[in-house]
Amino acid sequence: MNELIKQIKAGDREAFKALYDQYANYTIRVATGITRNKMVAADAVQETFIRVYNNINSFDEDKPFEPWLYRILINECNRILKNQSKTIPISNYLEEHAGIVEEDVYKFEEYEELYTAVNELDDMNRIPIILKYLEGFTELQIADTLNLNVNTVKSRLFKGREKLKKKMAALNERRHLYE
Amino acid sequence: MNKKFDDQIKESLMKGTEESTKLKDEIWNKIEQEIDANQIKQKIDHNPIGGSRRMIKQKRKTPRIFGLGAVAAALLIVFLAGTAPGHAAIDRVRELFVPEKTIVEELEGMEEETDVNLQKSRLGYVIYFDEQRYSLDSLDGKDKIAPIEQADYVPEVFMEIEQVEDKDIETLATEIQKMLAGEYETVRNEGSVDSPIESIYLYANTGNNWDDEVVKYYLVDNTQGGVFVIKQQFFFEASEGFGVRFDNMLKEFQMISLEE
């Protein structure tokens, strides 16, 4: 990774493409998880990598790259969501992005309910869960990325999973009632 | 928590976000277009004769109150006479104006190296913070340093600095204490402190739950008959995080007087 960063700092566009290829899929997934919308996620990922490219000279190679990258990504997701909520009435946004609604209710059989349940969690539980399960971050990496205490991360993950279990249990119970 | 449920969460997230990954190439194309456009613009704006391989600086989304280039250009720097508390001594000039440096912060018992950047305010002080994490906005005579990333489910986190010119420090401390007493559950006037900055220190919070609001005021005598009022706000759980980072910024706070 450090070699790649050095090459990018030297202005090597191919190295930057290699970095993008390495992280694109997971940053897109994480951004989708956070924003709950793939087009917003695409914008956030685009802005994130442009910021990475423009600020790579200030990145300290002695530090891990991923928390830096994901801090920028989460910030971009929040910034875009905040700007949209301020400036674009949702009806206009949907008109301009025709097709999003249908695409975003993509069905995936039995896991749809659990994905919906994750999406319904509060950000404080949802984002650590997304980083843990999508990106495979350790609790320490999540703490570093979100600027939180590790014990806080552990607690939020635990509570998040508890809430998910309760939601799923309630859904199953309701389903059995109607069967 | 059993592993099966963990696996289910992972699988649901992977499947739920699978469709988005098809946008990978489209996103890359837009990234390349924007980088190319920025580089062409930079060449036209700054280097019309020959190109540079230097990485371009991103245009800031939040305006910096006083850019580093402008700091370097401020050649005539006249420090206030004497060695009044908080004022930069002449022998610290070079250190003070290092545009970037690395500091060691201790957070929750662990040491962490942080790269910080010089910020110079028109209010008459300099301070350092990590531009990757914080931004500074100046509005209505107040500077507000805030984390770039703010969660919406906790009280807003920021450090606000203003200069009150027509009140002495004791009067102001009494006024702020009264104001806090009307709004917060716990209010303490800790009196004079030396750290993180020589000041009068007031503390208040709305309670001891993790997300209860905490405010800290440091009142710094500006030695001109007025006071720098520095307000920090965060939430209880962030006392050892944002609270410590803000205090570390204040260790670098130096009053200056400039002639430009």
Q: Where are the domains of chain A?
A: 1-86, 107-178
Residue B254 CA to residue A176 CA, distance in Å, equals 67
CB B32 within 8 A of CB A153: no
Interface touch A33/B17, C-beta < 8 Å = yes
Percent of chain B topping pLDDT 90 = 35
pLDDT in tens, B186-199: 999 989 998 899 99
Q: Residue B109 domain-assigned? A: yes
In a domain? residue B52? no
B11 versus B90: which is more confidently predicted? B11
Shortest alpha-carbon distance between residue A88 and chain B (Å): 19
B20 or A101, higher pLDDT: B20
CA B53 to chain centre: 31
**Which chain A residue has the Cα nearest residue B112?**
A63
Confidence of residue B82 (pLDDT cuts 50, 70, 90): very low
Structure tokens at B31: 């990234």
State which CATH number among 1.10.3210.10, 1.10.10.10, 1.10.1750.10, 3.40.1160.10 fits the domain covering A107-178.
1.10.10.10
pLDDT tens sequence across A23-65: 999 999 999 999 988 888 999 999 999 999 988 988 888 888 9
Name every chain A residue with its beta carbon within 8 A of the beta carbon of B20.
28-29, 31-32, 38, 41-42
Chain A contact present for B237, CB below 8 A: yes
Is residue B78 one of the residues assigned to a domain? Answer: no
The whole domain housing B138 covers 84-255
The CATH number given to whatever domain includes residue B247 is: 3.40.1000.10
Residue B196 in any domain: the answer is yes
**Are the Cβ atoms of B10 and A134 closer than 8 angstroms?**
yes
B151 touches chain A (CB under 8 A): yes
Residue B50 lies in a domain: no
A44: contact with B, CB 8 A cutoff:
no
| Cβ of residue B16 closer than 8 Å to a chain A Cβ | yes
Chain B positions in Cβ-Cβ contact with residue A42 (cut-off 8 Å) = 20, 23, 26-27
Q: Does B251 touch chain A (CB under 8 A)?
A: no
CA distance A66 to A5: 12
For A1-86, which CATH class? mainly alpha
The ipTM assigned to this model is 0.82
CA distance B127 to chain A (A): 18
B9·A28 Cβ contact <8 A: no
A vs B, Cβ pairs < 8 A, gives 154
B100 contacts B117 by C-beta, under 8 angstroms: yes
Query: Cα B43 to the chain's mean position, in Å?
Result: 32
Lowest mean pLDDT among A71-75, A165-169, B79-83, B237-241: B79-83
Predicted confidence band at B151 (pLDDT cuts at 50, 70, 90)? confident
Domain total for chain B? 1
Whether A102 has its CB under 8 Å from any CB of chain B: the answer is: no
pLDDT for A149 equals 87
Question: Tokens 């008109």 map to which residue?
Answer: A95
